[in-house]
Structure 1
Amino acid sequence: MWLQIGKSINNNPSSSLDLLKETLLEVKDYIDESENILILGDFNHELKLGSPLELFMLQSFGTRLFSPRELTTNARTVIDGVFGRIEDYNVEVFIYESYASHHKPLVIRVHEL
Structure 2
Amino acid sequence: MTKILLMPLLGLAAAYVVNLIWPKASFRGYDVMPFFLIYACQLLTDLKKLPSFLPSAFLLYFILILLSAIKWAMINKNISLSKMFRQFWSYLDACSFFWYLGLLLVTMI
Taking structure 1 as the reference length, the TM-score comes to 0.29
Taking structure 2 as the reference length, the TM-score comes to 0.30
Higher strand fraction: Structure 1 or Structure 2?
A: 1
Q: Which protein is bigger by CA-based radius of gyration? A: 2
